[in-house]
Each structure stands twice: as structure tokens, then as C-alpha cells.
Amino acid sequence: MKRNEQLIPIFERRSVRKYTDQVISDEEINLILEAAMYAPSAVNKQPWHFIVVSQKKTFRKITEIHPNASFLEGASHAILICGDEKLQHDEGYYLADCGATTQNILLAAQGLGIGSCWIGIFPREARQKSIAELFRLPDHVQPFALVSLGFPDETKKQPDRFSPEKIHREYWSNKSGKE
């Protein structure tokens, strides 16, 4: 079966860490956030909150906390995805819900021609604590991930990631689906 042209943003999405100086518009940020809020969540609780960051001084503070986020200083914006423990369906559900909304952010950005990179915060407790302090999060709101956003200043080839050997039919040991 041939790839559907409508799914191309999924296949072309790559982590972008080099950005131009072009600033993302408020309209584009709002569209990305709207797409984020259309992610599925357990019992539709939508236990997420977002903090939009665009100040370089805040980016610098984040890079002091997160050793793998040095490229953030070149970004136009970043979005901090947080999970609200009071809104989640049950204990731990915000993690899957925030993962889904983070993926929507990445795909929406790709669809708009904006580069992005998922910067992990969870499950590193020290990072979570420092980010929570930096952004003054209430105790029931946990930082999950940060996504950098900017117009790409690099091009990356999409590798073939389709791995048939990772697909199982009916149950684990049966590759063919036949008994």
C-alpha cells in the first residue's frame, strides 16, 4: 500500500535543533496549541496545561537546568507541556495524555513548516523539580516535556523506520497470524 499524501507530515517530521531568526507568529502558536488540545486523553479529562516561552533569558535558564537543551537558545518559541494531577482520570494517566498532546504539537508544527524538538523532562526528577520551580508550577501540576519551535535552518533526511519484525499478529510468538 502506498503512503497517503495526507499523512506526509508524519513521515517527514524530524527533530530540528537549528533554527533561523524568523519569529513564529502568535496565530501559528495558537494553531499549534489548538491542535495540542485535540489530543486524546483518558475519559477526555484533558489534564494538560501549556506555558508558551519566547524570552531568551528564560531559554538560558532552561539550558542551565537541562544539559541537552543548549540548542533552545536559537528557537523562536518553546512550549512546556504540564500534567495536572487533579484533572487526570486516575494516578499516572496524565503521562500518556501529555505524550499524546506533545505528539500533536510536533505534528502541527511540521504541518506548518515549523521545526520542533521534544526535550524530555519526565522522568528525570531533578529536571522536573527545577523546571517546576523555574515556572512556579503549583504542586499538583507536573512538567512533562518541553518542545522547542522555530523555522528550520537544517534539513534532515527521513530514515526508513518501518520495521516489520516489530509487528506481531494475534499474539507475541506468532508472526504470521496463523495457528
144 domain residue, yes or no: yes
Percent of the chain beyond pLDDT 70?
A: 92
172 domain residue, yes or no: no
164 domain residue, yes or no: no
37 domain residue, yes or no: yes
Q: CA 115 to CA 150: how far, in whole Å?
A: 5
4 domain residue, yes or no: no
E runs forming strands in the chain = 48-53, 77-84, 115-120, 141-150
65 domain residue, yes or no: yes
> Using one digit for the tens of pLDDT, what is the confidence trace for 119-165?
999 999 999 999 999 999 999 999 999 999 999 999 988 888 889 98
Q: CA 115 to CA 178: how far, in whole Å?
A: 43
CATH number, domain with residue 97:
3.40.109.10
Asked if 75 and 84 count as a contact pair (C-beta separation under 8 A), the reply is: no
Q: Flag whether pLDDT at 177 surpasses 60.
A: no
Q: Please count the other Cβ atoms lying within 10 Å of the Cβ belonging to residue 85.
A: 15
Domain span including residue 86: 10-153
5 domain residue, yes or no: no
Q: How many domains does the chain have?
A: 1
159 domain residue, yes or no: no
Q: What pLDDT sits at residue 178?
A: 52
Give 57's pLDDT tier (boundaries 50, 70, 90). Answer: very high
